[in-house]
Amino acid sequence: MADTEQKKKGLGSVVINAERCKGCGFCVEFCPTHCLELSEQYNAKGYHPPVLTLPEKCTGCNMCGLLCPDFAIYGFLFKKKKK
């Protein structure tokens, strides 16, 4: 599975390195806006990586990145457009 970066919908988004993931679910459980779910698909190690199922709710807070033991996900804020 390739790294995924979602299209711009919310304030921020996440980058997921699915192959690093061990499917612990910390990111899903502790995301403050509950915008992640574990995928039904498996990575090469046989774990279910997270997917951003509600991208419009992601704030880019990076709580998922702080909690992930395997550095498999991080959140970021979209840059504001210059006027």
Which residues contact ligand SF4 by CB under 6 A? 12, 14, 21-27, 31-33, 35-36, 49-50, 58-64, 67-68, 70, 72-73, 75
Phi, psi of 20 (to 5 degrees): -80, -20
* Least gap, CB of 83 to ligand SF4 (angstroms): 26
Please report, as a single letter, which amino acid is at residue 68: C
* Least gap, CB of 4 to ligand SF4 (angstroms): 11
Q: What CA–CA distance (Å, rounded) separates 69 from 79? A: 27
What residues does 18 pair with on adjacent strands?
none
* Least gap, CB of 58 to ligand SF4 (angstroms): 3
